[in-house]
Amino acid sequence: MRFLLIALSAALAWGAEPVKLTPTPQKFRTFHAVGAAEAPAALKTPALKAPLEGVTDLATATDGAVWYGTPQGLVRWDAAAGPRDRYQYFAGQRYLPSDTVERVVPDTQGGVWVRTPAGIAHIELRRMTLLQKAALFEERIRQRHDRHGMVSPSRLTVPGDLKSSRTRDDDNDGLWTGIYAAAECYRFAVTGSAEAQARAKKAIEAMLFLEQVAGSRGFPARSYIEKGEPMPTDGEWHWTDDGKYYWKGDTSSDEIVGHMYAYAIAYDLLPDPALKKRIAATTRRIMDHILANGYYLIDLDGKPTRWGKWSRQYFDEAPGDSALNSLELLSFLKTAAHITGDAKYEREYRKAAIDLKYAEQTARYRELHEEINYSDEELAMLPFYCLFLYEKDAALLDKYYRPALDQWWANIQREDNPLWTLIYLMGRPQGTVDLHGAVRTLYRQPIDLITWSVKNSHRADVVMSGTKDRFQKPEAATLLPPDERPVMKWNANPFIIDSNSAGHGEDDGAAFLLPYWFGRYQKLFAGE
């Protein structure tokens, strides 16, 4: 079973040519006090009288790029770069102590030293492969994001100071851990690494425990803490009978999506019979819980959770959710049928898809959705993955699922999202995609994933859309690269270009690892 997906990938005739991965410059910065011994003496000399209005200083780096200092940050111009990377913007504490640039001095390897009133920054450009970048992200997760085997958020008690990192519980601990588990499964399939296999297994074990800690009744907890850990202040929490664990309920559809997605990949790719058996048993309990309760996820109070609703009755109440939730349920059932081998899930799948018209409902997204919700895009694309992997019925695929995918893709295609691009190609192998744009997103994913405050809306090269997102935040029409916009996972809006996060946390980076290893696994990324 381990090579099921490899064989599938080899059999597909991709419309997109594989992208040859190459080493690219990655951005590192260190801060120093004004007058630091490490800084070049030239920083103390007056700036050049710049020939351009608004430019405070300029310098040509050893790689030929020109760096412009301004009162609102730093701009690098490289005539040899591709059009979308020719101008690059450096501002905020991701790069500078202060955005008021007073002096720019080249280093010896393509980077620059920058003097500001608040201190000095050394911005280095280190040429790295994506594999080397992935290794840095792996180390980050091991050092600061492993909480009981789950991949959890890091809170910085001192803003911007990684030494002050503390993990914390999160509503979507299961989903984020599932993203990392899937990445490690693909890494194992590509490399055969024993380390990748062990890390994948550890993450899956942590996900399985979320269902166990809540009573092994097919209801995964959102999260949990152990007795003695800092007590949470939000949400619905319950102690286990032995008083050892405090677990969070009101589990959402996000979590079931994450569990089913990761279980499918781990079941297919990890050569561990005992783990497969436990995955199958947990998948069975989750699916039986949903089926026994009329397509609802029922909490301890006997009522559906806020978002765990997949029934026709709910669709009548909230038609805007019906296309997505139909897709989710069908994917859950198809995945359960595959993992357990139990024909009852296939029968229920066919009943829901055809008799209850859930398959037809999946293709009504453009008609029924009320707003663009980027979190919903994640909740659609992960279930699409399982459906396109396991469904062989051409009638269902061509009449409903591929048209449904196209409706989501209508907005997604402008995002250069590498994971969604790869999943789209599973459903539409001959589809038109910008695979180079997706890889560029991986190249430009920042090494520094601290949630610094970011401001871009003042830039002359950014076109604002004039609309606001569902949280009433102004959106851009311009897609900025990830290392110039706020840190985000794939469930966030990439067109939100300002943030006031102030360095209070750090993202784990699994959102980079999953598409990188998936792309290599699918042989759409060639090389490292």
Cα angle 102, 100, 449; round to 5 = 120
Question: How confident is the model at residue 4, as a pLDDT?
Answer: 39
Question: How confident is the model at residue 48, as a pLDDT?
Answer: 75
Cβ(231)–Cβ(246) below 8 Å = yes
Per-residue confidence in pLDDT tens, the chain, 528 aa: 333 343 344 335 567 799 999 999 999 999 999 989 999 999 999 887 777 789 999 999 999 999 999 999 999 999 999 999 999 999 999 999 999 999 999 999 999 999 999 999 999 999 999 999 999 999 999 999 999 999 999 999 999 999 999 999 999 999 999 999 999 999 999 999 999 999 999 999 999 999 999 999 999 999 999 999 999 989 999 999 999 999 999 999 999 999 999 999 999 999 999 999 999 999 999 999 999 999 999 999 999 999 999 999 999 999 999 999 999 999 999 999 999 999 999 999 999 999 999 999 999 999 999 899 999 999 999 999 999 999 999 999 999 999 999 999 999 999 999 999 999 999 999 999 999 999 999 999 999 999 999 999 999 999 999 999 999 999 999 999 999 999 999 999 999 999 999 999 999 999 999 999 999 999 999 999
Question: How confident is the model at residue 14, as a pLDDT?
Answer: 67
Distance between CA atoms of residues 253 and 310, nearest Å = 9
Distance between CA atoms of residues 46 and 103, nearest Å = 7
The strand pairing partners of 223, in sequence order, are 248
**94 to each of 60, 143, 209, 263, 468, how far by Cα in Å?**
22, 20, 36, 36, 26
Question: How confident is the model at residue 9, as a pLDDT?
Answer: 42
| Cβ neighbours, 10 Å, residue 219 | 25
Q: What is the dihedral of CA 310, 314, 316, 321, to 10 degrees?
A: -60
* One-letter identity of residue 174: G
Question: How confident is the model at residue 91, as a pLDDT?
Answer: 98
Question: How confident is the model at residue 382, as a pLDDT?
Answer: 98
Q: Where in the chain is the domain with CATH 2.20.25?
A: 24-128
Phi, psi angle pair for 350, to nearest 5°: -65, -40
3-state secondary structure 209-260: HHHHHCCCCCCCCCEEEECCCCCCCCCCEEECCCCCEEEECCCCHHHHHHHH
Pick from 22, 26, 24, 23: which is nearest to 124 by CA?
26
What CATH class has 4-21+132-452+501-526?
Answer: mainly alpha
Q: What is the dihedral of CA 252, 257, 259, 262, to 10 degrees?
A: -150
3-state secondary structure 265-289: HHHHHCCCHHHHHHHHHHHHHHHHH
Question: How confident is the model at residue 51, as a pLDDT?
Answer: 73
Q: Where in the chain is the domain with CATH 1.50.10?
A: 4-21+132-452+501-526
Task: Classify domain 24-128 by CATH architecture.
Answer: Single Sheet (2.20)
- Take residue 261 and report the two structure tokens written for it: 């997605």
Q: Beta strands of 34-72 (E only): which ranges?
A: 57-60, 66-70
Cα angle 378, 292, 178; round to 5 = 30
Pick from 501, 482, 509: which is nearest to 140 by CA?
509
- Angle separating helix axes 4-11 and 510-521, nearest 10 degrees: 60
- Take residue 434 and report the two structure tokens written for it: 């910008």
Q: For the stretch 417-451, what's the b/e string if a residue is b when 16 or more beta carbons lie within 10 angstroms of its beta carbon?
A: bbbbbbbbbbbbeebebebebbbbbbbbbbbbbbb
SS3 for 517? Answer: helix
Cβ(96)–Cβ(112) below 8 Å = no
- Take residue 5 and report the two structure tokens written for it: 């997906």
What end-to-end distance do the CA atoms of the chain give, in Å?
25
**49 to each of 60, 66, 72, 485, how far by Cα in Å?**
14, 15, 17, 30
Distance between CA atoms of residues 132 and 147, nearest Å = 24
Cα angle 33, 37, 41; round to 5 = 100
Cβ(455)–Cβ(91) below 8 Å = yes
Distance between CA atoms of residues 132 and 515, nearest Å = 15
The model's pTM is 0.96
Q: Beta strands of 82-153 (E only): which ranges?
A: 87-90, 103-106, 112-116, 119-128, 146-147, 150-151
Distance between CA atoms of residues 347 and 334, nearest Å = 10
